[in-house]
Amino acid sequence: MLRKVQRAPELSDVKITDPFWSDIQDLMRETVIPYQADIFEDKIPGQEKSHAIENFKIAAGESDESFYGMVFQDSDVYKWLEAASYALEIAPDPELEEKADAYIDLLGRAQQEDGYLNSYFTAKEPEHRWQDLLECHELYCSGHMIEAAVAYFKATGKKKFLEIAERNADLICRRFGRGDGQRRGVPGHQEIEIALLRLYRLTKNSRYLETAKYFLDERGTEPEYFAEEAKRRDFSHWGMDPDNRKYAQYHAPVREQDSAEGHSVRACYMYTAMADLAAETGDEALMAACRKIWRNITQKRMYVTGGIGSTRYGEAFTVDYDLPNDTIYAETCASVAMVFFARRMLEAEVKGEYADIMEKELFNGVLSGIQLDGKRFFYVNPLEVIPGISGELEEYKHVLPTRPGWYACACCPPNAARLYTSLGRYIWGESETTIYAHLFVGSKASFKDGKVTIKAETNYPQEGGAEYLFSLKQPAPFRFAVRKPHYVKSWKIFLNGSDITEKVEMKDGYAYIERIWADDDRLELRFALECRRIYSNVGVRENAGCVALARGPLIYAFEEADNGPQLSALRIPRTAEILPELESGSRGAHVVLKLQGERLKSGEALYSDVPPAAEAAELKAVPYYAWGNRGAGEMRVWMHESL
Ligand code: ZN
């Protein structure tokens, strides 16, 4: 029977010491997290008002102001608290802990007698509590609060936040279900399912598992579900059409869903919970649905950067191979959600493709959401931008050429922060028999109740290869499994200096090395990161005749700052040699790609009998995550190729 085959170690068991990722984590701890707290307290002049902390004060009866912001404004603070918890696991920070404690005290005061906690409904519409599940995000906000509380308890051992969360979760478990005295209902925005599973794992209270399962089992079972809810109420928050069932994935029972539909963040939070529950309970039918959906996303509906969601309408998936580069949505949160989904799939069954996608998102789809200085953020992550069109014309209004400082809907920045501060949870895995290295990240992790420590050293993604140094008090038999990324065509594995490549068992993208491991054992992976050309399936009409460049896990982008305007007039010859070059940037060095290309030139006429002339052009591409850091300019990932 299917069961979670392996788990991630606790954050406290992993210490990241990596040239690339330590820098990102420092950016989160030193800049992003303090900056976001200032935003929530409305201390940054000229930025979009947040009011998130003031809203809780209103709910606690400590402020005379009026609620301001989105109905889900609370969730920004919860995601921040979750990120702050992980930051405290990385390094003690009394100032940050004091701030988090103060927020938590405020949450305690804003919580109602029965456990209800939501600043919008407490402050503004107490009579409408839980009457508009489709639109009003109460269960979503609770979910983020519960996730934060679990993280904070693990980081600090303090119980107050966890008790607030359990009171709220208990209320939800009492209210929702098919039992006596319960009301049926499912969230309009999934998230509570992930949270209840996390709370179950921490507390072992099976009621949380049962309610998570209830929310998934119930979803999509009755077509008129939300339409009937809409009939019962005399108000609407967003005017959503309850018959648009795919938008929030209630078009079919979850086990019958086989393609990625609707709002991409809702969808991937749900798939995450489905994979998690499937592995927890051994539910093969649920896992089968997850596999089909996974295949549909990664083979037909995902951008080469890992971005998902092809349209701004509903921030949603559309149909197979519909992947426009310039009217794209590809919300940062959706890529974050895809990392969650990938990790749950990997915990259920160890396959390299899941870790490959995790890595793709971490280096590309999510990271591009954050300015190199950590103070500006993308919500939408395009693969093509043209100033004057992008962000300006009606169809392109949402695709901005530069990152704004903050958003009225600020879901993405704290979501990225909680992901990168918890990176330690994604690198390693452990089962009864095996220790897994999923990602190449310099780190030290302890396993088998502290009996085994493994130190990984790497200069990824600047260079290929990694080294693993083992520390054991006593020799111990176990398997060590390390992922071979899909883009590594050949590698060598050395154990204590001897080449063991041919003796290693390869399975589903992982190399398995089984032996009695001893102190000071050293395993070395040697492989080069080649510059790669990537081509689209011909079904993706926008990318016909185009090529994208990559090196290792990094996808590359061409920018006007390096290549001049009219990037669509550039051609990359199929045979051109691509040269990687280390270049120092505003935040550390990164590898840029250089090549000899062509620029097409035409006359003034709109149409002409004369084909454009081609002239030689020195071209340069930067890692996709680094685009948009040098002012507004054109950017393009898919480049026309010449044969
Ligand atoms: Zn978002």
In DSSP notation, 304-329 reads TTS-B--BTTTTB--STT---SSS--
What's the pLDDT score for residue 305? 98
How far does residue 333's CA lie from ligand 1's centre (Å)? 4
Annotated active-site residue in 411, 412, 531, 546: 411
Which pLDDT band, with edges at 50, 70 and 90, does 171 fall under? Answer: very high
The yes-or-no answer on residue 138 being catalytic is no
The whole-angstrom separation of Cα 341 and Cα 271 is 6
The identity of residue 622, as a single letter, is V
468 within 8 A of 480, measured Cβ to Cβ: yes
381-405 per-position pLDDT tens digit: 999 999 999 999 999 999 999 998 7
How far does residue 276's CA lie from ligand 1's centre (Å)? 22
532-580 per-position pLDDT tens digit: 999 999 999 999 999 999 999 999 999 999 999 999 999 999 999 999 9
What's the pLDDT score for residue 522? 98
405-458 per-position pLDDT tens digit: 777 778 888 999 999 999 999 999 999 999 999 999 999 999 999 999 999 999
How far does residue 639's CA lie from ligand 1's centre (Å)? 28
Which residue carries 């040699």 as its tokens? Answer: 577
Question: Which pTM does this prediction carry?
Answer: 0.97
Q: What count of other Cβ atoms lies within 10 Å of the Cβ of residue 621? A: 28
CA distances from 625 to 364, 366, 381, 523, 559 (A): 5, 8, 10, 31, 12
How far does residue 311's CA lie from ligand 1's centre (Å)? 14
CA distances from 391 to 111, 364, 413, 452, 626 (A): 40, 21, 20, 52, 19
63-87 per-position pLDDT tens digit: 999 999 999 999 999 999 999 999 9
What's the pLDDT score for residue 176? 96
- pLDDT of 125 higher than 50: yes
Burial 240-262 (b: 16+ CB within 10 A, else e): bebebbbbbbbbbbbbebebbbb
- pLDDT of 307 higher than 50: yes
How far is residue 420 CA from its own chain's centroid?
A: 9
Higher pLDDT, 219 or 224: 219
The predicted model gives 179-185 an average pLDDT of: 93
| DSSP 8-class letter at 144 | H
How far does residue 335's CA lie from ligand 1's centre (Å)? 9
In angstroms, the first-to-last Cα distance of the chain is 52
The yes-or-no answer on residue 409 being catalytic is no
| DSSP 8-class letter at 199 | H
How far does residue 211's CA lie from ligand 1's centre (Å)? 26
The predicted model gives 7-33 an average pLDDT of: 94
Q: What percent of the chain has pLDDT over 90?
A: 92
- pLDDT of 585 higher than 80: no
331-382 per-position pLDDT tens digit: 999 999 999 999 999 999 999 999 999 999 999 999 999 999 888 999 999 9
The whole-angstrom separation of Cα 434 and Cα 174 is 40
How far does residue 424's CA lie from ligand 1's centre (Å)? 22
The predicted model gives 10-26 an average pLDDT of: 95
Nearest to 459 by CA among 21, 11, 6: 21
How far does residue 474's CA lie from ligand 1's centre (Å)? 47
Q: What three-state secondary structure class fits 84?
A: helix
* Beta-carbon contacts of residue 443 (< 8 Å; ≥ 6 apart): 14, 15, 16, 17, 18, 424, 427, 428, 455, 456
Annotated active-site residue in 97, 135, 280, 315: 315
How far does residue 381's CA lie from ligand 1's centre (Å)? 11
The predicted model gives 268-293 an average pLDDT of: 97
What's the pLDDT score for residue 230? 93
The predicted model gives 2-6 an average pLDDT of: 70
- pLDDT of 2 higher than 80: no
Which pLDDT band, with edges at 50, 70 and 90, does 1 fall under? Answer: very low
81 within 8 A of 103, measured Cβ to Cβ: yes
How far does residue 285's CA lie from ligand 1's centre (Å)? 30
Quick one: which H or E segment has residue 103?
Answer: helix 94-110
The whole-angstrom separation of Cα 348 and Cα 431 is 11
How far does residue 50's CA lie from ligand 1's centre (Å)? 15
The whole-angstrom separation of Cα 140 and Cα 557 is 35
What's the pLDDT score for residue 586? 65
How far does residue 158's CA lie from ligand 1's centre (Å)? 29
